[in-house]
Each structure stands twice: as structure tokens, then as C-alpha cells.
Amino acid sequence: MTPLRRSEIAAYLLLQPVLWILLTWGAGAGHLWWPSAITAAVLLAACWRAGSQWWRVAVILAVGLMCAFTVDGSLIKIQLVRYAGADPALPVPPAWIISLWLVFAATLALPARGLLTSPILAGILGAIGGPLAFLGGSSLGAIETNRTGLIVVGVFYALVTPFLVLVANRLMPSAPGRPARDGLPSRSRH
């Protein structure tokens, strides 16, 4: 995979909150499918951009999918969170929540891969960012939760975010000439 240019990194990092707003606003406004379709197109473009390494991005997206079903399925099951478009009888997150997880995983795999390498920092950011995202979703009418729900979200995200970061950093190779995780220059693999 060719290294991302600074403009591409900036575009990915700006696109992530735009997609978050689109998906969350869409859910709150009753638009449960078309924002997810747009997100799917963006994620396909990210896989395409990865060239011959597309499968690495796809594996990270699959891990994000697993996180969506584990974390948000659990939140639905224990009835701490209600999502727009979710069936409360089934512990299955709605499509827009799954899309948010896929965007989050793709962000960690592509632009943020070199920026976020510490699992401890990832855990702290997850513990803070998860509840803040849920508060934002609540203000847009897409999520209903309470203080206990926000605390549990913080704990879940403090555990899952470092896992996603570790997977992304393992699967996505460092750019040639840049230090890898171990501090040694990366070697091209054939």
C-alpha cells in the first residue's frame, strides 16, 4: 500500500466526523438506510485506495463489525441504550450503528494508524470519546440512554478501542522508511 499523502490523511480525518453526523442525524430523523449506503460507498473506496492491501482494510472492517455486534448488542441486551431503528427484542444494532463502527475501524486503519499507536492512550480516548459520541447521538434524537449507560459505554470503549488500534497497527504495514512499531525501519515484504 502506498503511503497516504497529508491531504489524504486530512480528508479521511475530516470525513469521519461528517459521516458520524450524517449517520447519527439520519437515524434521529428516521433516515435509517441511505446514510449507511453512502457510508458503504466511502468504505469501498477506502478498500480500493488500499490497492493490493485491500484485504487488510477488509479484515479491520470485519473486526469493527464484530465490535459493533459485541458492544452495541450488549448495550441493547442489558437495556442501557435504545437506538433509533433498533428492535428492542433483538440484541442486534441497527445498520447506522454498524456503519459507525466500520467508519471508526477504517479511521484507525488508515489515517490514524501512525497517529495512535499507544493502547493506553487509545483506552483513555475511548473512555472519553465513547460517552461523548453517545451524548451527541442523544442530542440528535438517535440514542436514548442514562448516566449508567454512559458509564458502561465508557468502559466498553476503553476496552475495545485499544483492541482495534492493536489490530490496525498489526495488519497495516508502516510506510517504507518510517519506523515500525518496534522502532526499526519497515522492510518491504514480498
pLDDT at 179 over 80: no
Task: Classify residue 53 by burial, with Cβ atoms within 10 Å: 0-12, 13-18, 19+.
Answer: middle
- pLDDT at residue 150, as a whole number: 97
- pLDDT at residue 107, as a whole number: 82
Mean pLDDT of the chain: 85
- pLDDT at residue 185, as a whole number: 42
pLDDT at 118 over 70: yes
Widest CA span in the chain: 52
pLDDT at 28 over 80: yes
pLDDT in tens, 40-82: 998 898 888 778 888 888 899 999 999 999 999 999 999 999 9
- pLDDT at residue 188, as a whole number: 46
| Of the listed ranges 14-18, 23-27, 59-63, 153-157, the one predicted with least confidence | 14-18
- pLDDT at residue 130, as a whole number: 96
Judge contact between 119 and 165, C-beta under 8 A: yes
- The pTM score is 0.84
- pLDDT at residue 112, as a whole number: 58
pLDDT at 164 over 70: yes
Judge contact between 150 and 135, C-beta under 8 A: yes
